[in-house]
Chain A
Amino acid sequence: MTTLYLYPVWLRAWHWLNALLFLTSLVTGISMHFSLGGLIPFDVAVPVHNTSGILLTVSWALFLVGNAFGGNGKHYLINLRTLPMDLYRQARYYVYGIFVNAPHPFHVSVGNKLNALQALSYIGVMYGLMPLLIVSGWAFLFSAELPETIFGFGTIWVVAMAHLLLAWMMLLFLVVHVYIITTGETPTTNLKAMITGWHREHDDGPAAARGARGRYG
């Protein structure tokens, strides 16, 4: 059994807090958007959505701080030279190798815990979609300060459509994210790692072959 301590307490706490806030925003947002008063009453959904959105902003700021000072940022540094081949290998594994019990092309280590697809998607979400979602959310709250029109359209409509589009993309990410974490050695390997902090693999698993830093139990 190979055991790696991949997720420090602050990172796990941030992850689950972020997940809670995101799910809260998602459910209240769906309730507001589709007028589903039966799901959550409208007058409850609005302040809860506003609050979770503000806290999500704080959470995102904490993510930046944690990456800058907590050492987590290195996992989002992409090696552009090897990226195309890494992506190909990873994608090929998901669409073919995984069905023929091929070995996982990426080996988790303390120094490199995200495969190329993970790193790229997390960068896209956390440094692309999330800030845009946050900006569009705040623009909603302070639309009175914005110009009446932008690009020839009503500003509120542009903001609303951007927020909606980003929300759909984030929902899509959530669906994929929840599934992809089941593709570890066992379906719950990665989930348990994000709960306990310890990534465990059997010695005949991919981690045994890498010879990377780690603790062996």
Chain B
Amino acid sequence: MTSRDASPRPQLPTDPAGGPPTRGRRSGRGAGRCLVVPLLLLVLSALAATAAADASDTESGLQKDDSPECMRCHWMETMAYRDRATRKIVDLSIDRDAYRHSVHDELACRDCHDRRYKHYPHRVSSAEEGLSCVGCHEKHQEDSDHSPPNLAGLDQEYQHSVHALEADEPFSCFSCHDPHSFRPLPNDTPVPQVVAANNGLCLDCHTELLTPVPEGHDWLPRPQAHWSSVRCLDCHTPLEGRDLYAPSHQILSAAESNQNCVECHSRDGELLAQLYVHRAEQEREQKGFFSHAVYNDAYIIGMSRSPIIDRIGLAIVVLMILGIGAHGYGRYLAHKRKQRETS
């Protein structure tokens, strides 16, 4: 199963290596909303609004410990500032609804953010916290009540990805995944929705590809049709060692990516079985036995293609038709002869 952020809301990505705060992958989206908010007005309005919203936060990590203190300010959509270095807007707001639906809902703010947040506004150094998804998940592997998935394998893959090796800007888990809204899609999610969600992650940053003939993809016939049916990952991750339910995080560079049509559209292409089973399984879970059978759209053009069988089959059928034509002509001549004889 694939995963994606459940919410399109912005976030505060932080370099896991402990570097300075970096801009979010969507941080530019909030530009112009709010540049400078008077602190006093902000706090007062936060106090009033949070009191009303608290009732809906029962059992959420946002209710635990001193999280309500944090949310007094961070619930506001306008909670943002312009980074002096990059001149871009850094969004600091937390969508409570998205958080409650995320896999991290049980976590209080301080379970992750535990460095010097006592001062208002927080010091820049406070954000220099070494947030590490991999480390945190590993640390809690032995938890009896709720053991998070081990991300070590994904991290190894990521370390070899083009994002880790060649990214122009600091890149981390948070560049793609928002921990405040992250939730894997359920298994019964329709295939087109899974594809759209996955590809949305890539296209949120790679906006240069949102053109009729995307750069670097001009070799690909009908790119829009492909993108609505196939995940970017299906071509941009290595063929070897694929796991249907844990897409590789080793994103390949354009040069290394799969551009071989027959990997999908051919007899025993590496991608074919994976794509087909993936789609067929999801459709069945989604729709039930007969509906799955009727509306099964897992067929991939070319998967049944066999030039040898097709050529032999076509040759035999054509020869048969020619033979039938000759046979029919012979019968016609015999019929004419019989008519002449009887007359």
Contact = CB atoms under 8 A, between A and B. Distances in A.
Please say whether chains A and B are actual partners in one complex.
yes
Interface of A: 32-33, 35, 42-43, 46-47, 50-51, 54, 94, 98-101, 138, 140-144, 148, 153-157, 160-161, 163-165, 168, 171-172, 175-176, 179, 182-183
B320 A172 contact: yes
Contact of B309 (A32, A47, A168): A168
B77 to A, nearest CB: 40
Q: Which of B272, B299, B306, B324 has the most chain A CB atoms inside 10 A of its CB?
A: B299
Contacts, number: 109
B2 interface: no
Given A142-B284, A154-B272, A154-B273, A175 B320 contact: yes
Given A161-B306, A164-B306, A179-B324, A142 B297 contact: no
B313 A168 contact: yes
Given A46-B296, A50-B294, A142 B331 contact: no
A156 B277 contact: yes
B328 A179 contact: yes
Nearest to A178: B324
Contact of B267 (A43, A157, A168, A183): A157
B334 A46 contact: no
Interface of B: 267-268, 272-273, 276-277, 280-281, 284, 290, 292-299, 301-306, 309-310, 312-313, 316-317, 320-321, 324, 327-328, 330-331, 333-335, 337-338
A154 B316 CA distance: 27
A50 B272 contact: no
Contacts of A183: 331
B268 A153 contact: yes
B304 to A, nearest CB: 4
Contacts of B316: 168, 172
Contacts of B281: 144
Chain A at the B interface: SS class:
helix
Contacts of A148: 273, 277
A157 B304 CA distance: 7
Contacts of A161: 267, 304, 306, 309
Contacts of A144: 277, 280-281, 284
Contact of B294 (A35, A51, A98, A172): A51
A164 B309 contact: yes
Nearest to B283: A144
| Closest 3 pairs (CB-CB, A-B) | A168-B313, A144-B281, A160-B304
Contacts of A154: 268, 272-273
A94 B326 CA distance: 12
Contacts of B295: 47, 50
B269 to A, nearest CB: 9
B299 A140 contact: yes
B317 A168 contact: yes
A156 B293 contact: no
Contacts of B306: 160-161, 164
Nearest to B313: A168
Contacts of B330: 98-99
A54 B280 contact: no
A143 B277 contact: yes
Q: Which of B272, B277, B310, B338 has the most chain A CB atoms inside 10 A of its CB?
A: B277
Given A33-B304, A142-B280, A179-B328, A156 B273 contact: yes
16 contacts: A33-B304, A46-B296, A46-B297, A47-B295, A99-B331, A101-B338, A140-B299, A141-B280, A144-B277, A154-B272, A160-B306, A161-B304, A164-B306, A168-B309, A171-B313, A175-B320
Contacts of B299: 32, 46, 140
A154 B310 CA distance: 20
A141 B313 contact: no
Contacts of A172: 313, 316-317, 320
A32 B301 contact: yes
A132 B246 CA distance: 35
Contacts of B327: 94, 179
A101 B337 contact: yes
Contacts of B338: 101
A73 B281 CA distance: 39
A164 B327 CA distance: 28
Given A35-B301, A157-B272, A175-B320, A141 B309 contact: no
A57 to B, nearest CB: 10
A155 B267 CA distance: 11
B334 A171 contact: no
Contacts of B309: 161, 164-165, 168
Q: Which of B303, B304, B313, B320 has the most chain A CB atoms inside 10 A of its CB?
A: B304
Nearest to A141: B293
A168 to B, nearest CB: 3
Contacts of B298: 143
